[in-house]
Structure formats: structure tokens, C-alpha cells
Structure 1
Amino acid sequence: MKVGQIMSKDPVSIREDDHMTHARQIMRDNLMRGLPVLDGEQRVVGILNDQDILNIKSSKSNVTVRGYVREYPAITPDTDILEAAKQLLDAKQHRAPVIASTGDRSLVGIVSEVDILRNIEPTKRSPKTVGEIMTTGVRTAYPDESIAKLWSNMLEWDYTGIPVVSHKGQAMGIVTRSDIIRSGYIRTASSNTQGSSTGDSPKVEKVMSTPLYSVSPDTSVSEAIQTVLERNIGRISVTNDNKLVGIVDRYDLLKACLKGTGFQ
């Protein structure tokens, strides 16, 4: 199957000379994690992701997108979806612009991990259970911690989502970068990470998503993929007797599906 068969057409984009505050608003309004960046001739020059948005502290800034543009995989409509998956994994990107051809960098679509996961299945050589691919020793947050502290940890650890547990270790929910950006607390959190007290910062319980969708370590990779797709979530917690023992994200699931394909 080719990328042209699964990509989203007419994607939202931004120009490299637009302000980052404008890009932040577009990503917030459209619930996006990646935004294609075009030059003055409407050619793709890169992609802007939510990690870049985190670096903008002010609600008013003259900083432009140009300085934050990241390289992107050269994916065209004729690229095989398994090759596209490998390129996304190698680039550590959740989505990528689709260009008309390697010689014509016009934007014709966008392809994401979700698009690919909907159209592939684990192979005979893929890991069978979530327990084989999950990340253990997961860093967590408490519901009564400040959002400023959580935000600082997200930046330091380069995490896109952090599970929330009770002080007894019971799984409760999860907070993602998108949750904080959509909540409007991003400026408060960002200013507090610049040296101000975190005492007045809202608490994590104000923005965490509940219920926490979870699976057990012996859940099949196929079932985990279906859960992630049906719930439209980027990661799923792995619990045992409601105790958090690991986490699996779309990156892990995509990587598992490439096992034995020649593209891993």
C-alpha cells in the first residue's frame, strides 16, 4: 500500500516567516502535534512540532517559525507505507508532510503514525504481547503536584505525556502536552519554570485526562493497537492490579509491526 492511499489531503500549514505565537494558536485550535512549514514559494521546508511550541513563553512574540523548523523525511504519495513508517521512526516524528515528489516539494498531504497503524498488522516475527515492548520504570506525577513542576519535568525528560498516580501508586490518569496547551495554563507553567515560585500554579488534577485507559502486560500487540486507535490516544498505560508497571506508545507499536518486514 502506498502513502497516497492513506494520507490526509489539504493539511493545515504555516509559512516560515509567520510568528511562533500564530503557529501555537493554529496547533491549539486544530489539536495538532505537527505543522508543515512552507517557504514563500509554497514549498515544504520542514515541520514544526509541539516540542518547539513549548519553547515560546510569551503570548506576544516576534519570534518567527523559521528558526524552529525541523528536517522532515522525504515521503511522497508513491512511498510504501512500511518505508514511511521506518522514516517516521528514524526521524522520531509522529507525522510528516507528503511532498509531490523529491524534485517537487509542493505539499500534497500529511501522513501520521495513526494513518499507518490503521493499515498494517503485526507480523509473525513481531512481539506478541505488550509486556515485551513496554517501557518500564515510568516517571509519573501526583495529582496534587503543580502544573509548573510537571511542565518543567516534561521539558527536562522530553516526554509528551506523563501518567498520574496516587501517593499509594494507584493509576489515576494521564497528562499530555496537548492537555496543558489546550487548558491555557501553558503561560503560567512556563513563567513559573523561569524561576518563579510554583506555589500559585494550578494542580495536575485540573488538566489530567481520566479515566486512564490501560492494558495488562499480557495484552496482545494487536489489541493494544486497536485500543490506541479506538480511544484516539498516543500512549496506553500498562497496569497490574491497578499498579502502573509500564507504558506503550504508538512509536513502540509501529516499531513492533515492522519486525520481520525488512524495514525495521
Structure 2
Amino acid sequence: MKVAMDIVSAVPILGDHDHITRARQVLREDAFREAYIVDAKGRCIGYIDITDALRVNATKSNVTLEGYVKTAAVVTPEDTLETVAAAVIQSRTDSVAVVDTDGKLIGGILVSDLFPIVLSRHEPKGKVADCMSRKVVTADASDPLQRVYTLIIESGYTAFPVMKKHMLIGMISRRDLLDAGHARRSLAQAGAVKVEDLMTTPVISITPDREIRTAAELLVKHDISRLPVEEDGKVIGILDRHDVLSGLKIQTERTL
């Protein structure tokens, strides 16, 4: 049976004395949501996420990462994937640090890699309405792409339903900007490119009365992180991988 080391990936790594602007550059141009921070001996001391990195401005160019370090969710190479899942549930991060016995960072486990494996072992129970979040942060189709970065800072999310005349017409994510090479150009073009020009369509959505299992299958099949929930033509909620994993909490605790 697979353990943590079997699905470990390379992750962005920064030194504790690196400047905060370096973290901003790394996370702005990479699909990862978190970058791990290590000391001079390579020991993991925490992480910084995309939300904090995007808040940085030119006046902070000489500030180091020390004041931005958050406590990382940590597992060992031998830990079960259920243990990793429990760490994800508790931290709600998009990755978990894998460290050796000396605390040195080996790599990270991405939720996107962990999610389908855990689902193959544990079947989610209940309805979408039981697990979804009713706080939905949306983008408007006419918004400039820069608005996506503002939403990330304000909400902490990295993917958003796109609305036009109160109708759901697409999804826009940081990955869309990265895939299209717009991470830098969107700023330089000063609003020339709109959200609707880059959003993903058609929308993959679900209704609140469907089984969580069905929602989880959609997340895996389409390799998406968030699933809008619609009822009577209105977006009433959103479901993400963390919401589904939280529904498996009893099962994961039993295997720890």
C-alpha cells in the first residue's frame, strides 16, 4: 500500500533569509499555491502561500521571509496516505511537507495527487448540500484579469465562478492565467484582457441534492479544484477537494 514517499513531488523551496519579493516572484509564476521555507541546514521551518505573497509591494522589497512564515503541515516518508489526508484536512493547504527524521525537507505531497487515491479507498457519504460552502466569491465576465489577483488576496481562493448578468458562464483560475502566459502580461496590458477572454468553459457544476461521491468524481475526472453548486439557475454554493476530504474525516481518523 502506498505511503507518503510514494507520491512526493518537488515543491518550491526558499531560504528563511530570502526576500519576500522572491516568494512573490516564485508563486506568481508557478502553479504551486505554497512555497516551503527552510533554514541553512535544509530543515523545514514553515511555508508562505500565494495570498501573502501577492500582498507584497515595492516598499517591502528588502523585507525577508522571516515575518511571513506559517506553520507547515508535516508528515514523514513512511506515513500512510490517510495520515497525510488528516494533515490536509486540519491545515486546508494545497500541499503537505514531507520531512526526514532531522526535519529536513524532502518534498511535498500535493492535494491534487492525494485526492484520487484517498477516494479510491474511502467512499464519501452524504449530499453536496451537506459539505459545500455557501460563501461564494465570484468574478464578473467584464473584470480585467488583474481582478483575479485581487480576489485571491481578498478571499484566499485561487479559482472563481464567472458571472454575466447573474448567470454562471465559466470559471477563472490562477492556472488559467499561468497556462495562457498572462501572469505578467495581464498587468502590462492594464485591463485590455478581460476575465471572459480567458475563462474556462463550459462550466462543470452540480446541484445540492447530488451525492458527494458524484461531485468527487467530477473533481477528479476534470482535474479541477472547485465545483460550483447551482439550484434554479443560481449559484448557491461551492465544493472543493478539502470539503470532500473533510467528509472523510471519520474514516481517516480510524486508520491513523
TM-score category (smaller protein): 0.7 to 0.9
CA drift at 1:22: 2.8
Give the alignment partner of residue 245 of structure 2, picking from 245, 250, 254.
Answer: 254
- TM alignment of 1:132-143, pairs within 5 A: 132-143=130-141
- Whichever residue aligns with residue 165 of structure 1, its letter is M
User: Bigger CA drift: 10-19 or 48-57?
Assistant: 10-19
> How far does the alpha carbon of each residue in 1:131-162 deviate from its partner, in whole angstroms, 9 at most, with x for none?
32122252323212345555444433333332
Seen in structure 2, the aligned counterparts of structure 1 residues 63 and 176 have a Cα distance that, compared at 3 Å, is farther
- Whichever residue aligns with residue 243 of structure 1, its letter is K
- Higher relative helix content: 2
Seen in structure 2, the aligned counterparts of structure 1 residues 261 and 92 have a Cα distance that, compared at 3 Å, is closer
> Quick one: distance in 2 between partners of 1:245 and 1:73?
31
- TM alignment of 1:113-192, pairs within 5 A: 113-121=111-119, 123=122, 126-147=124-145, 151-167=149-165, 169-179=166-176, 183-184=182-183, 188=187
- Whichever residue aligns with residue 120 of structure 1, its letter is V
Unaligned runs of 5+ in 2: none
Superposed CA RMSD in Å reads 3.2
Seen in structure 2, the aligned counterparts of structure 1 residues 231 and 21 have a Cα distance that, compared at 3 Å, is farther
CA drift at 1:224: 2.1
Say whether the 8 Å CA contact 2:5–2:77 is kept in structure 1. yes
> Quick one: distance in 1 between partners of 2:93 and 2:22?
21
Say whether the 8 Å CA contact 1:94–1:113 is kept in structure 2. yes
Q: How many residues align?
A: 251
CA drift at 1:52: 1.7
- Which residue in the other structure is 2:80 paired with? 80
- Which residue in the other structure is 2:220 paired with? 229
User: Bigger CA drift: 78-87 or 4-13?
Assistant: 4-13
Say whether the 8 Å CA contact 1:44–1:106 is kept in structure 2. yes
Seen in structure 2, the aligned counterparts of structure 1 residues 109 and 139 have a Cα distance that, compared at 3 Å, is closer
> Quick one: distance in 1 between partners of 2:144 and 2:94?
28
User: Bigger CA drift: 87-96 or 11-20?
Assistant: 11-20
Report SS of the residue matched to 2:253: coil
Question: How does the TM-score come out when normalised to structure 1?
Answer: 0.79
Question: How does the TM-score come out when normalised to structure 2?
Answer: 0.81
CA drift at 1:261: 4.1
Seen in structure 2, the aligned counterparts of structure 1 residues 186 and 240 have a Cα distance that, compared at 3 Å, is farther
The share of aligned pairs that are identical, in percent, is 27
- Which residue in the other structure is 1:7 paired with? 7
- TM alignment of 1:206-221, pairs within 5 A: 206-221=197-212
Seen in structure 2, the aligned counterparts of structure 1 residues 178 and 186 have a Cα distance that, compared at 3 Å, is farther
Say whether the 8 Å CA contact 2:152–2:158 is kept in structure 1. yes
Unaligned runs of 5+ in 1: 190-198
